[in-house]
């Protein structure tokens, strides 16, 4: 797919992660929903940060993680998201550009700080995320440049964009431009609670705008309000062109009409931190997909990327991804 | 040593690390001295950061790492160092307090930002550090509170304090208070090039003020300008009460007059990043020492701490250190 300037342009919340270990008791005491992403206000962010263990700061954001991974693999990517001109915003901008992602969304100068996600990693390697959206609430359709979207094979959107007020408009603007340009529109459902917040809108969106859907087992079951994965699988088959459904240690299932690929999970010596596993899967999948490698190869590389991410702390890769891509396509 | 409020109070540069992978070619192209700590100005910091790979931010600072480790092991610690009121300063303050270290040095409000250390980690796990001192240059004797120093069994000083202009005064003030209160004064030589910058002063300092000296092989050879480790060992024996000399994969040697302990290095499955290895050794050593466990046990726990730090990215521990202390003293 060498005709477009970009393989993937992603739109998402531009977030810096603050990762720290936590005990389950802490999550219970603070009434945090384990494994989920919850939105918090400034006061709660300050209070929880005060109670948090010593942390590490690293660029995050679901769709941003995905394009960072895709660029690391060798793909051409752009990102649209809103940071402030503060130290965290500079770190986010540096990190995503350093991996080769084109990022030029105007910086917010209102004084509202860059978004932060406090990530509590429990001993079982599960992550619980508390997000202060900060500058992200200012992302709007004016930040979506037609030339960028029309020059991307795939536009990738995170479901989390339905949380900040005007990002949804940016989302639909991008989907419309992509469709008119004959490009693919891809969505990640992001989080089962995010699906709960916007189920009706997501169902409509998938039917009318989405070509490639990413979801994990909990998210796809929440979307269709079914208790069984196979029921959800049957429903999604007729709902969008391609669905890539991740199932943690059970691997993933990629479905396109009658074509179904069941892909085993990669072996991981020790699962350290599951933050960014789904984002990494989408990165591997979309890189293989935009390289024309087929759906099975896409699911395979997605699984390899997820295995890399969960074997260390943090949501961005530490390994040489170009070597991984070479190995996957050998 | 339960009489003092603190086991260790450390004075050091309060720094946030920015860690990223780099190739040896990059170090050569940029003329960076591999394995060393070099001081850089704002313009160089901005230029190098622009060329740096995507990074991770984590609290650092040599002496700060040591007291963070000591507190993690269960020790009582305080830290004196200067940050600004910016996002990085807030992260530094949060992280050191979150592990239980008492830190209340007044924040710098001049507009000069918190210090940063750009750390380039090469594929051989060696780290090359480029430090922008920022707010650290404002640390002075007024930041050293007599009550804190006089209530610490050990005051721990990093050799890097000779770089910022007024920190040296803080250093001598603390050493004097400790001596008058009958407490121990400990110094880390920090870096072979730092030793080169201040050799005469360090030699005098050790003879007149230092009870416990930490140095690695390169630093102690640089101090005495000898090429052989054993020559350096003989020289340091008569120079200060206790010397703990680290030798990477050869372990460490702890010497106190005629008492010499040769301690093997702990086994490490994979050395990922050597940043903070010496700081971690000092943490383990000083924790065991202030618990009255003897010099061999101190060297052993120092080695265990160093092994933990070099097995992952970053200079602060990721494991449960209280379990490590329990195991070491079992």
> Which chain A residues are closer than 8 Å to B57 by Cβ?
56-58, 91
Q: Which pLDDT score, from 0 to 100, does residue B1 have?
A: 47
As a whole number of Å, the end-to-end CA separation of chain B is 19
Q: What is the largest CA-CA distance in chain B?
A: 53
CA distance B101 to B85: 19
The DSSP result for A209-269, as a single string, is H-SEEEEEHHHHHHHHT-S-HHHHHHHHHTTSSEEEEE-GGG-EEEEETTEEEEEPPPP-S
B102-103, strands of its sheet edge to edge = B102-103, B77-80, B6-11, B152-158, B184-188, B212-216, B242-246, B252-256, B259-263
Q: Is residue B215 a part of any domain in this protein? A: yes
Tens-place pLDDT, residues B136-154: 999 999 999 999 999 999 9
Instruction: Determine which helix (DSSP H) or strand (DSSP E) holds B312, and give its type and residue range.
Output: none
SS3 of A32-71: the string is CCCCCEEECCHHHHHHHHHHCCCCEEEECCHHHHHHHHHH
Contact assignment for B86 to A88 by CB distance below 8 Å: no
Q: Which of B100, B10, B75 is nearest to B293 (CA)?
A: B75
Indicate the number of domains in chain A.
1
Which token pair is A25?
Answer: 């008791």
Judge whether A244 and A213 are in contact, CB under 8 Å: yes
B chain contacts of residue A99, beta-carbon cutoff 8 Å: 53-54
Tell me whether residue B284 is in a domain.
yes
Residues B117/B60, Cβ–Cβ less than 8 Å:
yes
Residue B168 has pLDDT above 70, yes or no: yes
Q: How confident is the model at residue B330 (pLDDT cuts 50, 70, 90)?
A: confident
* Residue contact B113–A312, C-beta within 8 A: no
Q: Does B296 touch chain A (CB under 8 A)?
A: no
Q: What distance in Å separates the CA atoms of residue A228 and residue B272, rounded to the nearest whole number?
A: 42
Q: How many CA atoms lie within 13 A of B329 on its CB side?
A: 19
B313 contact A CB<8A: yes
Q: What is the ipTM of this complex?
A: 0.92
Residue listed under structure tokens 């591997």 = A284
- The owner of tokens 């009460």 is B241
| Cα A254 to Cα A296: distance, rounded to the nearest angstrom | 7
Q: Please indicate if any CB of chain A lies within 8 Å of the CB of B323.
A: no
pLDDT number for residue B69 = 98
- The three-state secondary structure class of B199 is helix
- Which residues of chain B make contact with A101, given a CB cutoff of 8 A? none
Of B313, B87, B21, B55, the residue nearest A94 (C-alpha): B55
Q: Would you call B289 an interface residue with chain A, using a CB distance cutoff of 8 Å?
A: no
Residue A47 covered by a domain: no
Question: Min CA distance, B114 vs chain A (Å)?
Answer: 10
Cβ of B56 within 8 Å of Cβ of A55? The answer is: no
Residue A315: both structure tokens together: 């949501």
Which range marks the domain in which residue A230 is found?
6-13+61-111+135-328
The reply to whether B68 touches chain A by the CB within 8 Å rule is yes
Nearest-by-CA chain B residue for A51: B98
Whether residue B18 lies inside any domain: the answer is no
Angle at alpha carbon of residue A65, lines to A64 and A71, rounded to 5°: 90
* Position B117 in a domain: no
Put simply, the answer to whether A98 touches B57 (Cβ < 8 Å) is: no
pLDDT at residue B255, as a whole number: 98
Q: d(Cα A10, Cα A152) in Å, to the nearest integer?
A: 9
Contacts of A58 in chain B (CB under 8 A): 56-57
If you average pLDDT over residues B297-324, what whole number do you get?
A: 95
Residue A33 lies in a domain: no
Instruction: Report the gap between the CA of A175 and the closest CA in chain B (Å).
Output: 29
Q: What is the pLDDT of residues B186-195, one digit of tens each?
A: 999 999 999 9
For residue A330, the model assigns a pLDDT of 84
Mean pLDDT of the region B21-45: 97
Give B146-177 as a DSSP string.
HHHHHTEEEEEEEGGGGSSTTHHHHHHHHHHH
Nearest to B54 among A49, A59, A313 (CB): A59
Cβ–Cβ contact B113 with A under 8 A: yes
Query: Which residues of chain A have a pLDDT value below 70?
Result: 1-2
Q: Does the distance separating the beta carbons of B68 and A98 come in below 8 Å? A: no
Q: B22 — contact with chain A (CB < 8 Å)?
A: no
pLDDT of residue A1: 47
Question: Measured between alpha carbons, how far is A275 from A280 in angstroms, rounded to an integer?
Answer: 9
What CATH number corresponds to the domain at position B175?
3.40.1190.20
Contacts of A314 in chain B (CB under 8 A): 56
Is A65's Cβ below 8 Å from some Cβ in B?
A: no
Q: Which residue of A has its CA nearest to B68?
A: A54
B86: chain A residues, CB-CB within 8 Å = 86-87
Percent of chain B whose predicted confidence (pLDDT) is above 90: 96
Two tokens at B181? Answer: 């209160």
Segment B85-101 shows an average pLDDT of: 98
Residue A22 falls within a domain, yes or no?
Answer: no
B58/A53 touch (CB, cutoff 8 Å), yes or no: no
The secondary element (H helix, E strand) that includes residue A6 is strand A6-11
Give the separation between CA A64 and CA A188, rounded to whole angstroms: 12
**Residues A142, A148, A152, CA angle at the centre, nearest 5°?**
135
Identify whether the C-beta of residue B317 lies closer than 8 Å to the C-beta of residue B323.
no
Give the whole-angstrom CA distance, residue A158 versus residue B297: 53
CA-atom Rg of chain A in angstroms? 18
From the list B54, B59, B99, the residue facing A99 with the nearest CB is B54
Query: What integer is the mean pLDDT of B71-89?
Result: 98
- CB contact under 8 Å between A95 and B21, yes or no, is no
End-to-end C-alpha distance for chain A, whole angstroms: 19
Q: Does A44 fall in a domain?
A: no
**Structure letter (DSSP) for residue B265:** P
Please tell me if residue B203 touches chain A, with a CB cutoff of 8 Å: no
Strand order in the sheet with A242-246: A102-103, A77-80, A6-11, A152-158, A184-188, A212-216, A242-246, A252-256, A259-263
* Cα of B59 to nearest chain A Cα, Å: 8
pLDDT band at B3 (very low <50, low <70, confident <90, very high): confident
Q: Does B121 touch chain A (CB under 8 A)?
A: no
């Amino acid at each position: 797919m060498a005709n477009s300037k970009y393989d993937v342009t992603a739109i998402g919340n531009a977030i810096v992660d603050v990762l720290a270990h936590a005990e389950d008791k802490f999550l219970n005491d603070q009434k945090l929903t384990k494994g989920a992403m919850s939105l918090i206000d400034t006061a709660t962010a300050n209070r929880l940060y005060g109670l948090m263990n010593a942390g590490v700061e690293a660029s995050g954001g679901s769709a941003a993680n995905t394009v960072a991974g895709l660029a690391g693999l060798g793909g051409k990517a752009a990102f649209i998201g809103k940071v402030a001109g503060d130290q965290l915003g500079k770190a986010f901008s540096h990190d995503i550009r350093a991996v080769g992602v084109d990022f030029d969304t105007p910086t917010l100068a209102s004084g509202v700080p860059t978004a932060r996600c406090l990530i509590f990693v429990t001993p079982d390697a599960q992550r619980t995320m508390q997000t202060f959206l900060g500058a992200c609430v200012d992302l709007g359709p004016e930040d979506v440049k037609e030339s960028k979207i029309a020059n991307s094979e795939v536009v990738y959107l995170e479901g989390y964009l339905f949380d900040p007020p005007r990002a949804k408009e940016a989302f639909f603007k991008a989907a419309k431009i992509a469709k008119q340009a004959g490009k693919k529109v891809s969505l990640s459902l992001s989080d089962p609670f995010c699906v709960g917040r916007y189920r009706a809108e997501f169902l409509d969106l998938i039917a009318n705008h989405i070509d490639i859907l990413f979801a994990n087992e909990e998210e796809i079951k929440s979307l269709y309000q079914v208790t069984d994965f196979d029921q959800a699988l049957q429903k999604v088959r007729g709902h969008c062109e391609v669905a890539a459904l991740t199932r943690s240690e059970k691997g993933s299932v990629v479905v396109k009409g009658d074509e179904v690929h069941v892909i085993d999970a990669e072996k991981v010596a020790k699962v350290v931190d599951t933050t960014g596993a789904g984002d990494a899967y989408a990165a591997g999948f979309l890189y293989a997909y935009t390289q024309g490698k087929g759906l099975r190869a896409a699911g395979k590389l997605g699984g390899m990327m997820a295995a890399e991410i969960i074997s260390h702390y943090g949501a961005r890769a530490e390994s040489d991804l170009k070597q991984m891509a070479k190995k996957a396509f050998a």
